[in-house]
Copies of this chain bind each other. A is one copy, B any other.
Amino acid sequence: MSLLDRFKKREPRALSRIISYVENREENYRKVLSTLYKDTGKAYKIGLTGPPGAGKSTLMDSITEILVNDGNRVGIIAVDPSSPFTGGAFLGDRIRMQNLSSNENVFIRSMATRGSMGGLARATKDVSMVYDAYGFDYILIETVGVGQVELDIVDAADTVVVAIVPESGDVIQAMKAGLMEIANVFCVNKADREGSDRVISELNHLLQLKRERADWGYPVIPTSAVKKEGIDLLIKAIMQHKDYLMESGRFKANRKEQIRKDIIEHIRTMLSANIEDQLHSAETFENLLEDIYNRKNDPVKTAMELYDRHYSKK
């Protein structure tokens, strides 16, 4: 039986192998993605992000538990671009494996690559597509820390949950980081700790204008993932956002926008490879580099000239 057949029969090992294949950009990986695409479209994607220490892993686990008990298949992608130093993804994995991975309806994949820039966001989207084709009902994408890479990663989710904790410090400062733009649901985790009321009211204050202008309410849900409190309300808020997206037509519009971005990104990747090929084969390129090094020419002008020669509209 072929790998794809075994994948279609939902063999976890086949899933693992196809993920690795796609993640490693092995030959013809685009064909594999292309083949799998027709089986996608059923999974709902939830992104979870926030500053380090917000308890995201525990939140993810609690959300997964409820979703699975309701009869859903859940695929988790835990992305930790900074893991080399924290080791978080690996440790987290081992802890999780005990709780969740014994359940056949849960699959966890950690991603912490140091491949080419933009590669991590791209790879996350590709793995998410593979999950969708495999037949997961929900795909949870968790990113540790918040930076541009993380924002790009969760941006591909249908509903984005931003988790903060009372200790997060200045909420306003934190929210300036671009989270206000991408968050659909806010979660104040460890809400039993001191300062949580203040953080919730700060958040509500910040959201006032946004709420007035939108037809979505941007709920703020207090939770305690460790004590499993508030998780049902958090999931309810996510589902309400899902309903809102569906009823307003935004789900389709967002997905189409995502497809547009995907196409452009794929073309961009192919072009990048092509540029390098073209330049490497150009005999004169080495001379150009020498001239530029000696300040007889400059890299920006050269780039503009090469662009005009090779890529201006046909």
**Cβ contact within 8 Å between A274 and B311:** yes
What bracket does the count of chain A residues touching chain B fall in?
35 or more
Taking CB atoms, residues of chain B closer than 8 Å to A214 are none
Query: Within 8 Å of chain B (Cβ to Cβ): is A295?
Result: yes
Task: Indicate with 1 or 0, residue by residue over A283-314, a CB within 8 angstroms of chain B CB atoms.
Answer: 00100011011010011111110110011011
**Cβ contact within 8 Å between A256 and B176:** no
**Cβ contact within 8 Å between B263 and A303:** yes
Q: Determine how close the nearest CB of chain B comes to the CB of A173; give it in whole angstroms.
A: 6
Q: Which of A115, A119, A301 has the most CB of B within 10 A?
A: A301
Q: Which of A116, A119, A263, A292 has the most CB of B within 10 A?
A: A263
Contacts of A62-84 to chain B: CB distance below 8 A: 81-82, 84
Closest 6 CB pairs of A and B: A84-B177, A266-B303, A37-B298, A34-B300, A262-B299, A256-B289
Residues of A within 8 A of B (CB): 30-31, 33-34, 37-38, 40-41, 51-52, 81-82, 84-85, 87, 114-121, 145-149, 151-152, 168-170, 173-174, 176-178, 252, 255-256, 259-260, 262-264, 266-268, 270-272, 274-276, 278-279, 285, 289-290, 292-293, 295, 298-304, 306-307, 310-311, 313-314
